Structure 1
Amino acid sequence: MSKSELPLIGVVTPGCGATPRTRPPLDAENAVELAGMFKALSDPVRLRLLSAIASRAGQEACVCDVSDGVDVSQPTISHHLKVLREAGLLTSERRASWVYYRAVPEALQRLSDILAIEAGLRVSA
């Protein structure tokens, strides 16, 4: 058997695995849940709607307020808000004839935490 035919099972590159973890990696269940949140935010209109809600006092806004400046129809806005609700990023409450949406701080914090990196650490290519 030549050197090129040898299996590479169990081969360790020098320095591989020597970098300590600063936090545990995601488990499968959390990865699926967070991927759903990121997928909901992958649309620019949904990202703008969430930002419009989260940027208001109390992270709450009436649907009539968040649609200003978004160039899509009201049914399309309602669809996008529904997607954000289903992803766990917003809650909603009907008050008289209007629906008020509120950002879910815990969900936004989870997204922020997964994107955070330790200050001073660099990833080399």
Structure 2
Amino acid sequence: MSKQEWVTLGRETAEDCCPGLLAAPLGEEQAVELAKVFKALGDPVRLRLLSMIASREGGQVCVCDLTPAFDLSQPTISHHLKLLRQAGLIDCERRGTWVYYWLLPEATDRLAGLLTRPGRPVAPETSA
């Protein structure tokens, strides 16, 4: 799925683009595309990278600030970031020597909509 498709889908409501996973079975094409996104999120390094980008104050983070958090080489971090970009979860921009990344909230909103049970309010957190 291209980044443009995610942006387009993200502007629609969940009901407009597709029903949630629990409301109707996925079509073959939608399942293939969603599998790419979930595969990108299935790696602990990529999941941490996404979390670091999403939680960054100001919404953008330089790759130079991400790399030191891992015991991995810069090319390996760049590869993981490339996979997150290809999955449509983040985007980036080169500024001089460095590349800055930000979350594409429409993509995560779409995933959240797919995983929400239809007609059910979100259960409040309970304390133990």
Question: Is the TM value for this pair above 0.5?
Answer: yes
Question: Which residue number in structure 1 is paired with residue 17 of structure 2?
Answer: none
2:98 alignment counterpart: 98
Partners of 1:120 and 1:42 lie apart in 2 by: 24
Tell whether the 8 Å contact from 1:53 to 1:101 is kept in structure 2 after alignment.
Answer: yes
Unpaired runs of 5+ residues, structure 2, are 1-21, 124-128
Give the match for residue 85 of structure 1: 85
CA distance in 2, matches of 1:24, 1:110: 15
Gaps of 5+ in 1: 1-21
Structure-2 separation of matches of 1:26 and 1:58 = 36
Could you say which structure has the greater relative contact order, defined with CA pairs below 8 angstroms and 6 or more residues apart?
A: 2
Once residues 25 and 82 of structure 1 are traced to their aligned partners in structure 2, the CA distance between those partners, rounded to angstroms, is 30
Aligned pairs, number: 100
Amino acid at match of 1:70: F
Please give the alpha-carbon distance, in whole angstroms, between the structure 2 residues aligned to 1:101 and 1:53: 7
Structure 1 CA distance for aligned equivalents of residues 80 and 122 of structure 2:
37
Q: Quick one: distance in 2 between partners of 1:101 and 1:93? A: 7
Q: CA RMSD in A?
A: 2.0
**What is the rounded CA distance, in whole Å, between the counterparts of 2:121 and 2:43 in structure 1?**
29
Shift in CA distance, 98/116, structure 1 to aligned 2, threshold 3 Å: same
Counting aligned pairs with the same residue, the percent is: 59
Supply the distance in 2 between the matched residues of 1:88 and 1:57 (Cα, whole angstroms). Answer: 21
| Cα pair 1:49 1:67 within 8 Å, conserved | no
CA distance 1:63–1:38, change in 2 (3 Å): same
The question of whether the paired residues in 2 share the 8 Å contact of 1:92 and 1:102 is answered with yes
Pairwise CA distance, 1:65: 1.2
